[in-house]
Structure 1
Amino acid sequence: MPEMKNITVVGAGLMGHGIAQAFAQKGLPVTLYDLSEELLAKALASVEENLGTFVEMSLETPEGAAQALGRITTTTSLPSALKKADFVTEAAPENPELKQELFGQMDRHAPEHAILASNTSMLSISRFGSEVRDQGRLIITHWFNPPHIVPVVEVVMGQGTSEQTKEAALGLLSRIGKTPVLVNKEIPGFLVNRIQTAMFREVLSLLEMGVASAEDIDRAISGSFGLRLSVQGVLKTMDLAGLDLMLKGCSYLFGHIAGGTEAPEVLRQKVAKGELGANTGQGFFSYGQAASGAADAPPGKARDKALLTILKALREGKA
């Protein structure tokens, strides 16, 4: 398989522009595709702002940031975006019909050696990519928001994914400084979202029962095991506590924690009232309203700075 040199990202939205940035910062030329010049201009502005944060925190030089931005080429022509690609990442909305259409075009217009990857967080690539002629070149590379910062990328094997494709994807992600985590088979939610959703279920149950406020629940998580998990993970935490103690705790608590198979009423009520979170100004918390009546933008820059500070500290601690 040829070296993965030319990257194409299909979709320049919330995840796509950050994925493009991650490749560009590591020296790879990226072609970023979306439907309109307006969407692409917005994506480049977001990348430029993100790079500015790296410069502010002395994690990138102004020259390096300018070079990274210069490595991203935009286009509204999908065939043009695909014609020289070695690795294609689809980052479109979670709509199986849309993804199926895109993968059909990716199959027709990308070179035969190109790997066709999807950033889907929950859908089966074996289904929406079923019409791709060579199933061996299909793979899921699921990035996490913000993708230009979060190290882990889930690499999920489709039913027909070849070993060559798997190794090439793992190698490429490692080469740009990411931490690929291999998921050996497609299951709903893959790895991270299954674990995260189990926590969501319990948190929503506790909120619904009135056990604690939204503020205290979030404080409890971020200031206790949430802090610890970034250092040692879940299974190592169990090892360090002692598996005999874990057995006793699990045997007692498993019968008391949430086990429902339907979304909790507290979440359904929020959605029914149009309280969808930061974008509408109200969710489990209230967010400031701009003069126009629209919610202020979520504090993405502050979040990014906090995450970069944590990552820097973790890396220095391991040095």
Structure 2
Amino acid sequence: MKILVTGTAGFIGFHLAKKLLERGDEVIGLDSINDYYDVNVKYGRLQETGIEKEKIVYAKFIQSSKYPNYKFVQLNLEDRKAVLELFEKEKFDKVVNLAAQAGVRYSIENPFAYIESNISGFINILEGCRHNNVKHLAYASSSSVYGLNEQMPFSTSSNVDHPMSLYAATKKSNELMAHTYSHLYNLPTTGLRFFTVYGPWGRPDMALFLFTKAALEDKTIDVFNNGDMLRDFTYIDDIVEGVVRVMDSPAKSNPNWNGKKPDPSSSSAPYKIYNIGNNNPVKLMDFIEAIEKTVGKKIEKNLMPLQPGDVPATYANVDDLVEDLHYKPETPVQKGIDNFVAWYREFFKL
């Protein structure tokens, strides 16, 4: 099977590409390698899959030195001509779109980056799929779409019309755009609402990376909402297993869908939305305590108010994931943190 995975220099995309390659799929990886966070981490991920930094040239394929079934191309999703040419040339069986401008707080500082990548880029993915007989498009959404919704646990059948950040609004827009293409062109699409992903090779702008770095350098961390936060932390291996199961099971129309009482998570079109979360929210202060246990020292804390765009709690209802795909994330947070800190020490040679 030939699969396009976008965002393969990114956290989830890197791990997904490795899993697909190791099971024998042919993978084309795509990433813009922007400088939203430390590009050395991105290049490090690429190196792990046999893509050498020195060989990267925009819009030129690079053959992996580790995987004969892997090629990588640096490309911006908003580059319409190049993206559509890629689809026309490669004729992918399936597409997993993980590339996006990430980050809730950064969307307040640089809103145009989100429109360009997450909206303009996504329409190019949809058009590429539509015109080239792609059998299934799975794409990253986010738990951020739940916004002002306070009904816990978050259910994909709930209304998500009140986002708290432009990032969340773009992810909700992706779901709406995907449904339109499922309805008009019978393109199977599945949106994946990820819940606070963490683990080895994680993003430097995320809490675990920031807190671990501060702890090892004896620095103070900013703890927002005075630490009164709940997060459904989900380990990267669990996320990837969920993505693979979804990718292998193209969305189908729901025969029981009723337009008079519409369920937002499915449709009369081949369209589906899943939460992928640990279904077990953890207090932020307990999460920090688990990091302290792993690194063997206390972390100095600077208690701060809630940041604009942040939600105080996330909690995933994963009933559909269990019922449809017989899967439930279950990695304990302490084990995930242990694995991350071990990777961090190795990567930064500490």
Classify the TM-score, shorter chain. Answer: 0.3 to 0.5
Higher helix share: 1
| Higher alpha-carbon Rg | 1
Q: When the two structures are superposed, what TM-score results if normalisation uses the length of structure 2?
A: 0.40
Q: Which has the higher contact order (CA 8 A, sep 6+)?
A: 2
Higher strand share: 2
